[in-house]
Structure 1
Amino acid sequence: MARTREFDTDAAVGRAMELFWTRGYEATSVRDLTQHLGIGQGSLYAAFGGKDGLYRAALEHYRTTLAAAALRDLEEQADARSAVRALLAERLRIAVGRDGRGCLAVNAACERLPQDASLRRVVRDMQDATRDALAEVLHAAIERGGISPRHDPHTLAAYLVTFLNGLLVSAKITPDVRAHEPLVEVALAALD
Protein backbone atom coordinates (compact mmCIF):
# COMPACT_ATOMS: atom_id res chain seq x y z
CA MET A 1 0.00 0.00 0.00
CA ALA A 2 1.33 3.43 -0.95
CA ARG A 3 2.08 5.92 1.80
CA THR A 4 -0.13 8.97 2.03
CA ARG A 5 1.70 12.17 1.15
CA GLU A 6 2.36 14.04 4.39
CA PHE A 7 2.72 17.55 3.01
CA ASP A 8 0.74 20.04 0.99
CA THR A 9 2.22 19.83 -2.52
CA ASP A 10 0.66 23.14 -3.62
CA ALA A 11 2.23 24.96 -0.69
CA ALA A 12 5.54 23.20 -1.35
CA VAL A 13 5.48 24.30 -4.99
CA GLY A 14 4.78 27.90 -3.95
CA ARG A 15 7.67 27.88 -1.48
CA ALA A 16 9.97 26.21 -4.02
CA MET A 17 9.00 28.87 -6.56
CA GLU A 18 10.18 31.57 -4.15
CA LEU A 19 13.47 29.75 -3.53
CA PHE A 20 14.17 29.16 -7.24
CA TRP A 21 13.17 32.74 -8.00
CA THR A 22 15.61 34.08 -5.43
CA ARG A 23 18.54 31.74 -6.06
CA GLY A 24 18.02 30.33 -9.55
CA TYR A 25 17.94 26.70 -10.63
CA GLU A 26 21.67 25.90 -10.55
CA ALA A 27 22.33 27.54 -7.18
CA THR A 28 19.45 25.68 -5.51
CA SER A 29 20.37 22.18 -4.40
CA VAL A 30 18.05 19.33 -3.53
CA ARG A 31 19.23 19.76 0.07
CA ASP A 32 18.27 23.46 -0.05
CA LEU A 33 14.84 22.47 -1.30
CA THR A 34 14.21 19.77 1.30
CA GLN A 35 15.33 22.07 4.11
CA HIS A 36 13.31 25.02 2.82
CA LEU A 37 10.21 22.91 2.28
CA GLY A 38 10.61 20.82 5.43
CA ILE A 39 10.29 17.53 3.55
CA GLY A 40 12.55 14.55 3.03
CA GLN A 41 14.43 13.87 -0.17
CA GLY A 42 12.34 10.75 -0.78
CA SER A 43 9.15 12.80 -0.52
CA LEU A 44 10.49 15.37 -2.97
CA TYR A 45 11.35 12.65 -5.50
CA ALA A 46 8.05 10.82 -4.96
CA ALA A 47 5.97 13.96 -5.43
CA PHE A 48 7.92 15.73 -8.19
CA GLY A 49 10.40 13.26 -9.66
CA GLY A 50 13.31 15.39 -8.45
CA LYS A 51 14.62 18.93 -8.57
CA ASP A 52 13.81 19.38 -12.26
CA GLY A 53 10.20 18.30 -11.81
CA LEU A 54 9.79 20.66 -8.87
CA TYR A 55 11.35 23.49 -10.90
CA ARG A 56 8.85 22.92 -13.72
CA ALA A 57 6.01 22.79 -11.19
CA ALA A 58 7.27 26.09 -9.75
CA LEU A 59 7.30 27.67 -13.23
CA GLU A 60 3.78 26.40 -13.85
CA HIS A 61 2.70 27.87 -10.49
CA TYR A 62 4.26 31.18 -11.51
CA ARG A 63 2.39 31.03 -14.84
CA THR A 64 -0.98 30.29 -13.24
CA THR A 65 -0.68 32.84 -10.44
CA LEU A 66 1.45 35.93 -11.09
CA ALA A 67 1.59 35.79 -14.88
CA ALA A 68 -2.13 34.97 -15.16
CA ALA A 69 -3.00 37.85 -12.81
CA ALA A 70 -1.02 40.24 -15.01
CA LEU A 71 -2.98 39.10 -18.06
CA ARG A 72 -6.31 39.49 -16.24
CA ASP A 73 -5.32 43.00 -15.19
CA LEU A 74 -4.37 43.78 -18.79
CA GLU A 75 -7.81 42.80 -20.04
CA GLU A 76 -9.61 44.83 -17.34
CA GLN A 77 -8.07 48.21 -18.22
CA ALA A 78 -10.27 50.71 -20.03
CA ASP A 79 -7.78 51.86 -22.67
CA ALA A 80 -4.79 50.22 -24.33
CA ARG A 81 -2.18 52.77 -23.28
CA SER A 82 -3.19 52.52 -19.62
CA ALA A 83 -3.33 48.73 -19.88
CA VAL A 84 0.16 48.44 -21.36
CA ARG A 85 1.60 50.98 -18.92
CA ALA A 86 0.03 49.13 -15.97
CA LEU A 87 1.32 45.77 -17.21
CA LEU A 88 4.88 47.05 -17.68
CA ALA A 89 4.87 48.96 -14.39
CA GLU A 90 3.54 46.02 -12.38
CA ARG A 91 5.96 43.53 -13.90
CA LEU A 92 8.80 46.00 -13.25
CA ARG A 93 7.68 46.46 -9.64
CA ILE A 94 7.68 42.70 -9.09
CA ALA A 95 11.06 42.30 -10.83
CA VAL A 96 12.86 44.86 -8.68
CA GLY A 97 11.34 43.47 -5.49
CA ARG A 98 13.58 41.53 -3.14
CA ASP A 99 16.78 43.15 -4.39
CA GLY A 100 16.09 42.71 -8.07
CA ARG A 101 15.29 39.04 -8.41
CA GLY A 102 13.73 39.69 -11.81
CA CYS A 103 11.07 37.57 -13.47
CA LEU A 104 11.12 33.83 -12.84
CA ALA A 105 10.35 33.00 -16.50
CA VAL A 106 12.99 35.37 -17.90
CA ASN A 107 15.47 34.12 -15.30
CA ALA A 108 14.74 30.56 -16.40
CA ALA A 109 15.37 31.47 -20.03
CA CYS A 110 18.63 33.23 -19.21
CA GLU A 111 19.88 30.43 -16.98
CA ARG A 112 18.65 27.25 -18.67
CA LEU A 113 18.49 27.98 -22.41
CA PRO A 114 19.45 26.90 -25.00
CA GLN A 115 20.30 23.54 -23.39
CA ASP A 116 16.83 22.73 -22.03
CA ALA A 117 14.44 22.44 -24.99
CA SER A 118 11.40 21.51 -22.90
CA LEU A 119 11.91 24.57 -20.72
CA ARG A 120 12.08 26.67 -23.89
CA ARG A 121 8.51 25.52 -24.67
CA VAL A 122 7.30 26.42 -21.17
CA VAL A 123 8.76 29.93 -21.33
CA ARG A 124 7.64 30.41 -24.93
CA ASP A 125 4.08 29.46 -23.96
CA MET A 126 4.11 32.12 -21.23
CA GLN A 127 5.45 34.74 -23.60
CA ASP A 128 3.00 33.74 -26.32
CA ALA A 129 0.11 34.13 -23.86
CA THR A 130 1.31 37.64 -22.97
CA ARG A 131 1.82 38.55 -26.64
CA ASP A 132 -1.61 37.24 -27.62
CA ALA A 133 -3.35 39.10 -24.79
CA LEU A 134 -1.53 42.30 -25.71
CA ALA A 135 -2.40 41.83 -29.38
CA GLU A 136 -6.10 41.53 -28.52
CA VAL A 137 -6.01 44.72 -26.45
CA LEU A 138 -4.09 46.56 -29.16
CA HIS A 139 -6.33 45.29 -31.97
CA ALA A 140 -9.43 46.51 -30.12
CA ALA A 141 -7.76 49.87 -29.44
CA ILE A 142 -6.84 50.30 -33.10
CA GLU A 143 -10.44 49.57 -34.13
CA ARG A 144 -11.72 52.15 -31.61
CA GLY A 145 -9.14 54.71 -32.77
CA GLY A 146 -7.40 54.76 -29.40
CA ILE A 147 -3.96 54.03 -30.84
CA SER A 148 -2.31 54.45 -34.22
CA PRO A 149 -2.98 51.77 -36.82
CA ARG A 150 0.52 52.20 -38.31
CA HIS A 151 1.72 48.91 -36.77
CA ASP A 152 0.20 45.46 -36.93
CA PRO A 153 -1.12 44.68 -33.41
CA HIS A 154 0.65 41.29 -33.33
CA THR A 155 3.98 42.84 -34.29
CA LEU A 156 3.49 45.63 -31.77
CA ALA A 157 2.59 43.09 -29.08
CA ALA A 158 5.70 41.03 -29.93
CA TYR A 159 7.79 44.20 -29.64
CA LEU A 160 6.30 44.98 -26.22
CA VAL A 161 7.03 41.44 -24.97
CA THR A 162 10.61 41.73 -26.25
CA PHE A 163 10.93 45.12 -24.55
CA LEU A 164 9.49 43.66 -21.34
CA ASN A 165 12.01 40.82 -21.38
CA GLY A 166 14.87 43.27 -21.68
CA LEU A 167 13.35 45.51 -19.03
CA LEU A 168 13.13 42.58 -16.62
CA VAL A 169 16.77 41.65 -17.19
CA SER A 170 17.77 45.28 -16.74
CA ALA A 171 15.79 45.41 -13.48
CA LYS A 172 18.06 42.69 -12.10
CA ILE A 173 21.10 44.83 -12.88
CA THR A 174 19.55 48.07 -11.60
CA PRO A 175 16.73 47.20 -9.18
CA ASP A 176 15.22 50.68 -9.15
CA VAL A 177 11.75 51.28 -10.58
CA ARG A 178 12.39 54.99 -11.10
CA ALA A 179 15.44 54.29 -13.26
CA HIS A 180 13.27 52.29 -15.67
CA GLU A 181 10.07 54.36 -15.74
CA PRO A 182 11.35 56.65 -18.54
CA LEU A 183 12.04 53.55 -20.65
CA VAL A 184 8.44 52.45 -20.23
CA GLU A 185 7.35 55.82 -21.60
CA VAL A 186 9.62 55.39 -24.63
CA ALA A 187 8.10 51.94 -25.28
CA LEU A 188 4.60 53.42 -25.02
CA ALA A 189 5.52 55.88 -27.77
CA ALA A 190 5.28 52.92 -30.17
CA LEU A 191 1.50 53.16 -29.65
CA ASP A 192 1.42 56.68 -31.15
Structure 2
Amino acid sequence: MARTREFDTEAAVSRAMELFWARGYEGTSVRDLTRHLGIGQGSLYAAFGDKDGLYRAALEYYRTTFAAAALRSLDEGADARSAIRTMLVERVRIAAEHDGRGCLMINAACERVPQDAATRRTVRDVLGASQDALAEVLRVAAERGEIAARRDPHTLAAFLVTFLNGLLVSSKITPDPRALEPLVEIALATLD
Protein backbone atom coordinates (compact mmCIF):
# COMPACT_ATOMS: atom_id res chain seq x y z
CA MET A 1 0.00 0.00 0.00
CA ALA A 2 1.40 3.39 -1.00
CA ARG A 3 1.96 5.94 1.74
CA THR A 4 0.01 9.14 1.52
CA ARG A 5 1.99 12.28 0.93
CA GLU A 6 2.46 14.08 4.22
CA PHE A 7 3.16 17.56 2.88
CA ASP A 8 1.60 20.18 0.65
CA THR A 9 3.41 19.83 -2.69
CA GLU A 10 2.37 23.28 -3.93
CA ALA A 11 3.75 24.91 -0.78
CA ALA A 12 6.91 22.83 -1.15
CA VAL A 13 7.35 23.95 -4.75
CA SER A 14 6.81 27.58 -3.74
CA ARG A 15 9.43 27.29 -1.00
CA ALA A 16 11.83 25.47 -3.32
CA MET A 17 11.33 28.23 -5.90
CA GLU A 18 12.40 30.81 -3.31
CA LEU A 19 15.52 28.79 -2.46
CA PHE A 20 16.49 28.23 -6.11
CA TRP A 21 15.81 31.91 -6.79
CA ALA A 22 18.08 32.99 -3.94
CA ARG A 23 20.90 30.46 -4.46
CA GLY A 24 20.59 29.16 -8.00
CA TYR A 25 20.42 25.55 -9.09
CA GLU A 26 24.06 24.70 -8.46
CA GLY A 27 24.12 26.54 -5.13
CA THR A 28 21.18 24.54 -3.81
CA SER A 29 21.82 20.98 -2.66
CA VAL A 30 19.24 18.27 -2.04
CA ARG A 31 20.13 18.60 1.64
CA ASP A 32 19.39 22.36 1.49
CA LEU A 33 16.04 21.58 -0.11
CA THR A 34 15.00 18.93 2.40
CA ARG A 35 15.94 21.20 5.30
CA HIS A 36 14.19 24.25 3.81
CA LEU A 37 11.07 22.29 2.90
CA GLY A 38 11.01 20.27 6.11
CA ILE A 39 10.68 16.96 4.27
CA GLY A 40 12.81 13.86 3.98
CA GLN A 41 14.91 13.02 0.95
CA GLY A 42 12.65 10.05 0.19
CA SER A 43 9.60 12.30 0.16
CA LEU A 44 11.33 14.75 -2.17
CA TYR A 45 12.24 11.96 -4.60
CA ALA A 46 8.78 10.36 -4.36
CA ALA A 47 7.04 13.66 -5.14
CA PHE A 48 9.40 15.18 -7.72
CA GLY A 49 11.70 12.42 -8.97
CA ASP A 50 14.90 14.26 -8.20
CA LYS A 51 16.39 17.74 -7.76
CA ASP A 52 15.89 18.45 -11.48
CA GLY A 53 12.21 17.55 -11.22
CA LEU A 54 11.76 19.92 -8.29
CA TYR A 55 13.67 22.63 -10.16
CA ARG A 56 11.42 22.25 -13.20
CA ALA A 57 8.36 22.40 -10.91
CA ALA A 58 9.77 25.57 -9.32
CA LEU A 59 10.32 27.17 -12.74
CA GLU A 60 6.77 26.25 -13.73
CA TYR A 61 5.43 27.72 -10.49
CA TYR A 62 7.32 30.96 -11.21
CA ARG A 63 5.87 30.95 -14.71
CA THR A 64 2.28 30.60 -13.48
CA THR A 65 2.64 33.18 -10.70
CA PHE A 66 5.17 35.95 -11.30
CA ALA A 67 5.49 35.72 -15.09
CA ALA A 68 1.73 35.33 -15.57
CA ALA A 69 1.08 38.35 -13.34
CA ALA A 70 3.41 40.45 -15.48
CA LEU A 71 1.46 39.51 -18.61
CA ARG A 72 -1.87 40.24 -16.91
CA SER A 73 -0.59 43.71 -16.06
CA LEU A 74 -0.39 44.45 -19.79
CA ASP A 75 -4.17 44.16 -19.99
CA GLU A 76 -4.74 46.52 -17.07
CA GLY A 77 -3.08 49.64 -18.48
CA ALA A 78 -5.12 52.58 -19.74
CA ASP A 79 -2.91 52.83 -22.81
CA ALA A 80 -0.12 50.72 -24.28
CA ARG A 81 2.73 52.96 -23.16
CA SER A 82 1.47 53.03 -19.55
CA ALA A 83 0.85 49.29 -19.53
CA ILE A 84 4.32 48.52 -20.86
CA ARG A 85 5.95 50.99 -18.46
CA THR A 86 4.10 49.43 -15.52
CA MET A 87 5.08 45.91 -16.60
CA LEU A 88 8.76 46.79 -17.03
CA VAL A 89 9.03 48.77 -13.79
CA GLU A 90 7.18 46.10 -11.82
CA ARG A 91 9.45 43.35 -13.16
CA VAL A 92 12.52 45.39 -12.16
CA ARG A 93 11.06 46.01 -8.71
CA ILE A 94 10.42 42.29 -8.14
CA ALA A 95 13.88 41.39 -9.44
CA ALA A 96 15.61 43.95 -7.22
CA GLU A 97 13.85 42.81 -4.05
CA HIS A 98 15.68 40.61 -1.59
CA ASP A 99 19.19 41.92 -2.22
CA GLY A 100 18.95 41.78 -6.00
CA ARG A 101 18.19 38.14 -6.60
CA GLY A 102 17.11 39.02 -10.14
CA CYS A 103 14.55 37.11 -12.18
CA LEU A 104 14.37 33.34 -11.70
CA MET A 105 13.89 32.73 -15.45
CA ILE A 106 16.85 34.90 -16.46
CA ASN A 107 18.95 33.39 -13.67
CA ALA A 108 17.99 29.93 -14.98
CA ALA A 109 18.97 30.91 -18.52
CA CYS A 110 22.34 32.24 -17.38
CA GLU A 111 23.09 29.25 -15.15
CA ARG A 112 21.52 26.23 -16.86
CA VAL A 113 21.35 26.94 -20.60
CA PRO A 114 22.67 25.45 -22.90
CA GLN A 115 23.44 22.21 -20.99
CA ASP A 116 19.85 21.79 -19.74
CA ALA A 117 17.40 21.44 -22.63
CA ALA A 118 14.33 21.36 -20.35
CA THR A 119 15.30 24.68 -18.76
CA ARG A 120 15.98 26.17 -22.19
CA ARG A 121 12.48 25.17 -23.35
CA THR A 122 10.83 26.61 -20.25
CA VAL A 123 12.70 29.91 -20.48
CA ARG A 124 12.08 30.12 -24.23
CA ASP A 125 8.36 29.50 -23.68
CA VAL A 126 8.10 32.17 -20.97
CA LEU A 127 10.01 34.73 -23.03
CA GLY A 128 7.99 33.80 -26.10
CA ALA A 129 4.72 34.34 -24.23
CA SER A 130 5.97 37.74 -23.08
CA GLN A 131 6.97 38.66 -26.61
CA ASP A 132 3.64 37.53 -28.05
CA ALA A 133 1.66 39.46 -25.43
CA LEU A 134 3.71 42.61 -26.02
CA ALA A 135 3.38 42.26 -29.81
CA GLU A 136 -0.40 42.12 -29.50
CA VAL A 137 -0.50 45.18 -27.22
CA LEU A 138 1.77 47.04 -29.66
CA ARG A 139 -0.26 45.98 -32.72
CA VAL A 140 -3.50 47.24 -31.16
CA ALA A 141 -1.81 50.44 -29.97
CA ALA A 142 -0.49 51.14 -33.47
CA GLU A 143 -3.98 50.61 -34.94
CA ARG A 144 -5.40 53.09 -32.41
CA GLY A 145 -2.66 55.62 -33.14
CA GLU A 146 -1.27 55.44 -29.56
CA ILE A 147 2.21 54.63 -30.86
CA ALA A 148 4.02 55.06 -34.15
CA ALA A 149 3.15 52.37 -36.67
CA ARG A 150 6.52 52.50 -38.43
CA ARG A 151 7.98 49.47 -36.63
CA ASP A 152 6.88 45.86 -36.84
CA PRO A 153 5.13 45.00 -33.52
CA HIS A 154 6.89 41.61 -33.30
CA THR A 155 10.33 43.15 -33.77
CA LEU A 156 9.54 45.90 -31.27
CA ALA A 157 8.24 43.30 -28.79
CA ALA A 158 11.43 41.24 -29.27
CA PHE A 159 13.47 44.38 -28.53
CA LEU A 160 11.47 45.11 -25.37
CA VAL A 161 11.87 41.53 -24.10
CA THR A 162 15.60 41.65 -24.84
CA PHE A 163 15.84 45.02 -23.10
CA LEU A 164 13.93 43.64 -20.11
CA ASN A 165 16.25 40.63 -19.91
CA GLY A 166 19.26 42.94 -19.75
CA LEU A 167 17.52 45.12 -17.21
CA LEU A 168 16.81 42.08 -15.04
CA VAL A 169 20.48 41.08 -15.14
CA SER A 170 21.40 44.68 -14.29
CA SER A 171 19.05 44.54 -11.30
CA LYS A 172 21.37 41.94 -9.76
CA ILE A 173 24.26 44.39 -10.01
CA THR A 174 22.26 47.49 -9.11
CA PRO A 175 19.32 46.28 -6.98
CA ASP A 176 17.73 49.73 -6.90
CA PRO A 177 14.63 50.12 -9.08
CA ARG A 178 14.88 53.94 -8.90
CA ALA A 179 18.30 53.78 -10.56
CA LEU A 180 17.02 51.53 -13.35
CA GLU A 181 13.64 53.15 -14.06
CA PRO A 182 15.10 55.96 -16.21
CA LEU A 183 16.30 53.25 -18.62
CA VAL A 184 12.68 52.17 -19.07
CA GLU A 185 11.85 55.66 -20.36
CA ILE A 186 14.60 55.37 -22.97
CA ALA A 187 13.24 52.00 -24.10
CA LEU A 188 9.73 53.46 -24.30
CA ALA A 189 11.06 56.15 -26.64
CA THR A 190 11.25 53.42 -29.30
CA LEU A 191 7.45 53.55 -29.39
CA ASP A 192 7.52 57.13 -30.79
Output the TM-score relative to the length of structure 2. 0.99
Pairing 1:34-113 to 2, within 5 Å after superposition: 34-113=34-113
The one-letter amino acid paired with 1:87 is M
Pairing 1:184–2:184 present = yes
How far apart are 1:78 and its partner, in Å? 1.7
The one-letter amino acid paired with 1:114 is P
**In the alignment, is the contact (CA less than 8 A) between 1:75 and 1:133 conserved in 2?**
no
Which consecutive unaligned segments of at least 5 residues does structure 1 have? none
How far apart are 1:186 and its partner, in Å? 0.5
**In the alignment, is the contact (CA less than 8 A) between 1:101 and 1:172 conserved in 2?**
yes
Pairing 1:114–2:114 present = yes
The one-letter amino acid paired with 2:8 is D
The CA distance in 2 between the partners of 1:24 and 1:49, in whole Å, is 19
The CA distance in 2 between the partners of 1:32 and 1:43, in whole Å, is 14
The one-letter amino acid paired with 2:156 is L
Deviations 1:17-70 (A, max 9, x none): 000000100000000000000000000000000111000000000000111011
Number of residue pairs matched by the alignment: 192
Q: Match of 2:129?
A: 129
Q: Match of 1:21?
A: 21
**Identity over the aligned pairs, expressed in percent?**
78
**In the alignment, is the contact (CA less than 8 A) between 1:13 and 1:61 conserved in 2?**
yes
The one-letter amino acid paired with 2:178 is R
The CA distance in 2 between the partners of 1:76 and 1:138, in whole Å, is 14
**What is the alpha-carbon root mean square deviation over aligned residues?**
0.5
The CA distance in 1 between the partners of 2:99 and 2:111, in whole Å, is 18
**In the alignment, is the contact (CA less than 8 A) between 1:142 and 1:148 conserved in 2?**
yes
Which consecutive unaligned segments of at least 5 residues does structure 2 have? none
How far apart are 1:73 and its partner, in Å? 1.0
**Residue 20 of structure 2 aligns to a residue in which SS?**
helix
Report the more deviating stretch, 177-186 or 9-18: 177-186
**Residue 169 of structure 1 aligns to a residue in which SS?**
helix
Report the more deviating stretch, 70-79 or 137-146: 70-79
How far apart are 1:117 and its partner, in Å? 1.4
